[in-house]
Amino acid sequence: MPRIVHETAALALVLCLGVSVPEQAAAADEDPTASLEEVAAASGSEISRPEETVSVHGQSTYVWQYKPAFSAAYSGPKSLVPSAEHGYSWSATISVGLRLWQGASVFLDPELIQGVAFSDSQGLGGLANAELAKAAIAHPTIYRARLFLRQEIALGNETESVDSNFHQLAGLQSKRRIVVTAGNLSVLDVFNSLEYAHDPRSEYLNTAFASHASFDFPADARGYTWGAAVEYIDGDWAVRVGRFLQPLEPNGLQLDTRVLEHYGDMLELEHGYTLLDNAGKARLLVWRNHAHMGAFNDALALADRTGGAPDVGQVRREHAKVGAGVSLEQKIGKSLGVYARGDWADDKTESYAFTEVGRSASAGAILKGGAWGRAMDSVGVAVAINGLSTAHQQYLARGGLGGFLGDGALRYGPEQICEVFYSLAVERHLFVSPDFQYIRHPGYNRDRGPARFYGVRVHAQF
């Protein structure tokens, strides 16, 4: 890697750490991870928080990974390379929020990305670094990640306090409200946003844990899109609906603006509950994508007539792709959080905007380090099993190429992933996280692997 990459990444981390952020509670010295609500409850006092008009937050994340050589009976044009490889990513984001009028705020996120992915992001269903899931760029590239408006409409007088954070201004919000979000953002900013398995910059790195793995959510090659979502939130209950733009080409950077013809729709139901005095949430997500896609059975039928390997690119037409997923997250005491996801897509057509997974199940846990005197540290472990439909398996077995897969042949086996990380708090705004991933049957192929990935992540935020 060029020396300038290391120097620039180091400079970004220093800049993040150099920004002064006022402390919000003296009790945080006892537990630096405590929220204002927890601090107030412990002291028996009321929270007095001024309404925030402008907010500025930032992050910088550097990930380095190494994959030793592994055994492979054969390789194809879209295989995970069996020889040893190094990969890295660096991202930096500034998020600016501005309150416009009562209940309305706008957020702008300029972002930088740079990196080199393993095997050009090919050969896996669950990619080893979600920061570089699709857009691995060897030179620093700056772009607008988000520019969206959020309008909250209060439906009652009962309020709750919220802290300043990314895409959230400090102040009071109604417990029963309608929230409209519209503009340029990530679908995962609104849907399936689990506390313990969502952000590869601070939690698990593999894409299998970032969301429902078969959720082919609308996005450009960097993971962002344009669209709108409406949420109805009433205490522990929430309902969300949204429509977003699809890319013009599968996994492409340019978006298709024909929102009435090509789109991704989703509906999510959420319920918060208490189990033995511990908070939890259950979610049901259903989605439907409509785009110009190739179906595996159509490609197989054409190959039967003409010979050669099947190619979904030759049979693209209007198709709908549907799927559903359920998820649970549960706190256990003050230090442990666990989650589980299960999801399914019809997997009749090519992957259009996310990874190449037809169905998936995953579970994991994150434990805070208070028990060993490191309250800001955390350790996480998670496992996932990814699978494909029969038509998708046959397509790959006959030499077809997908968005991320293509070994030239296939002896199918579900892809099995285990990831472990330890997040070490160097100081309040800087975390260093060793990470290990073990992937059995990479690319759903019993004739290849297992593959191992060793890495370290450096994350700073303010």
pLDDT band for 36, please (50, 70, 90 cuts). very low
Residue ranges of alpha helices (H) inside 307-427 are 390-397
Cα–Cα distance for residue pair 340/118, rounded to 1 Å: 27
Copy the structure tokens of residue 246. 């699809």
Give tens-digit pLDDT for 101-143.
Answer: 999 999 999 999 999 999 999 999 999 999 886 566 778 999 9
pLDDT at 18 over 90: no
Cα–Cα distance for residue pair 222/325, rounded to 1 Å: 23
Q: Domain ranges in the chain?
A: 3-19+51-461
CB neighbour burial string for 420-451, b if at least 16 within 10 angstroms, e if fewer: bbbbbbeeebbbebebbbebbbbbbbebbbeb
pLDDT band for 154, please (50, 70, 90 cuts). very high
Give tens-digit pLDDT for 418-434.
Answer: 999 999 999 999 999 99
Q: What percent of the chain has pLDDT over 70?
A: 89
Give the per-residue pLDDT at 139. 86
pLDDT band for 174, please (50, 70, 90 cuts). very high
Give the per-residue pLDDT at 178. 97
Give the per-residue pLDDT at 138. 79
Task: Give the helix, strand, coil percentages of the chain, each rounded to 5.
Answer: 15, 50, 35
Give tens-digit pLDDT for 211-238.
Answer: 999 999 999 989 999 999 999 999 999 9
Look at the chain and count its residues. Answer: 462
Asked if 78 and 404 touch (Cβ cutoff 8 Å), the reply is yes
Give tens-digit pLDDT for 294-348.
Answer: 999 999 999 999 999 999 999 999 999 999 999 999 999 999 999 999 999 999 9
The reply to whether omega before 450 is within 30° of 0 (cis) is yes
Give the per-residue pLDDT at 422. 98
The yes/no answer on whether domain 3-19+51-461 falls in CATH 2.40.160.180 is yes
Q: Classify burial at 290, counting beta carbons within 10 Å of its beta carbon; exposed 0-12, middle 13-18, buried 19 or more.
A: middle
pLDDT at 270 over 80: yes
